[in-house]
Amino acid sequence: MEYAIEVSKLVKRYKELLALDHFDMTIREGEIFGLLGPNGSGKTTTINCILSLLKYDKGQIRVFGREIKPSDYELKKQIGVVFQEVAVFDELSVRDNIDYFCGLYVDDKVLRKQYVDEAIKFVGLENYEKFVPGKLSGGLLRRLNIACGIAHKPKLIFFDEPTVAVDPQSRNNILEGIVKLRDAGATIVYTSHYMEEVEQICDRILIMDKGKAVATGTAEELKNMTKNRETITLETDALTDADLEVMKGLPHVYDISYENGVLSLYYSAGRNNLVRVVNYLQEKDIAFTNVHSKVPTLNDVFLEITGKELRD
């Protein structure tokens, strides 16, 4: 297994604050890796240490098998960064912005023009080359920001909240573009507060909290770590205490609540849970409405593991 990033026993302190507590992480080449954590969990510190923008106290970081150092410009040429805050020059056109950032890594003018042309086409800004950033919509501005970060064709790309405050169409275009970069061979590190995005595009996900890695796996593997595997709710005013006792005894039910005519059953495993509930109610001729079955989401996993919402 080839790793794009290997982080081992990383420790970073800010005076009395332990930002990273012997943090471990490995990212495989050619995958989209989601890095999730509540505010203050250490995500930004981790990324800045990997980029050699921040010194750390202990541990080791290897990028493509090499220990990264601030002066290792050849290795840094293989890295692209798209930060949450749009960082472009207001006085430069779309093309000139992309050309400037690409020129930081590519000296050959002919090759740079080719790369700039390809970046413009990749993000769909062909009709906006001469526009200055102030004339672009929020979604187009995000696309420009991405083009500036990936024009030099890096092998490793960091995306930090790339879809914040953009319309649904632009968000879909950005996500599709990230998947295309992965399919073309790039390794992607992706952070977002939108769980549905992470679940949609990430091959693996790491949840960190208080400077530690607390869970790693695919979206499905993470969901399998939660106690709750299904929640069934329905509305009925006709349940007796005896009915509730029967419900508590159904296979895989670990908790039950019945308030204001709403019955909720919580399951730890099993199939056909809904069928059993409906069959019982029909056998007893108990009227019911608004039946729902809900399986755990990635947000449920995050909440159970960290005790916080991702957007907290």
> Is residue 65 within a helix (H) or strand (E), and if so which, with residue range?
none
**Confidence at residue 310, expressed as pLDDT on a 0 to 100 scale:** 67
How confident is the model at residue 166, as a pLDDT? 83
Cα separation, 308 vs 42, in Å, equals 15
Mean pLDDT, all residues of the chain? 93
For residues 144 and 198, membership in a common domain is answered with yes
d(CA 128, CA 109): 22
In angstroms, the first-to-last Cα distance of the chain is 36
Say what the pLDDT of residue 82 is.
94
What residue numbers bound the domain in which 260 lies? Answer: 230-295
Indicate if 125 and 15 belong to the same structural domain.
yes
Give dist(CA 16, CA 13) in Å, integer: 7
**pLDDT > 80? residue 264:** yes
Per-residue pLDDT tens digits for 70-86 = 889 899 999 999 988 88
Q: Minimal CA–CA distance to 26: which of 145, 150, 194, 203?
A: 203
Q: What is the structure's pLDDT at 311?
A: 59
At 245-259, the pLDDT tens digits run: 999 999 999 999 999
The span from the CA of 207 to the CA of 222, in Å, is 9
277 plus 140 within the same structural domain = no
**pTM, entire model:** 0.87
Sheet containing 17-28, strands listed edge to edge, beginning at the edge strand earlier in sequence: 17-28, 3-14, 58-63, 66-67
Residue that wins the pLDDT comparison between 120 and 308: 120
Tens-place pLDDT, residues 157-196: 999 988 887 888 888 988 999 999 999 999 999 998 888 9
What digits encode the pLDDT tens for the residues 194-241? 889 999 999 999 999 999 999 999 999 999 888 899 999 999 999 999
Q: What percent of the chain has pLDDT over 70?
A: 99
User: Based on the domain organization, do 245 and 99 belong to the same domain?
Assistant: no
Q: Is pLDDT of 38 > 90?
A: no
Dihedral through CA 55, CA 85, CA 309, CA 29, nearest 10?
-60
- Is position 134 within any domain? yes
CATH no. for residue 283?
Answer: 3.30.70.100
Same domain, 37 and 157: yes
Indicate whether 310 belongs to any domain.
no
Contacts 24+ apart (CB under 8 A), 223-226: 223/295, 223/296, 223/297, 223/298, 223/300, 223/301, 225/301, 225/305, 226/296, 226/300, 226/301, 226/304
Query: Span 112-123, mean pLDDT?
Result: 95
Answer yes or no: are the C-beta atoms of 74 and 15 closer than 8 Å.
no
Residue 73 placed within a domain: yes
Determine what percent of the chain is predicted with pLDDT higher than 90.
79
Tell me, yes or no, whether 26 and 59 share the same domain. Answer: yes
Question: How many domains does the chain divide into?
Answer: 2
Indicate whether 34 belongs to any domain.
yes
Q: How far is CA 107 from the centre of its chain?
A: 34
- Residue 199 is predicted with a pLDDT of 92
- For position 1, what pLDDT does the model report? 63
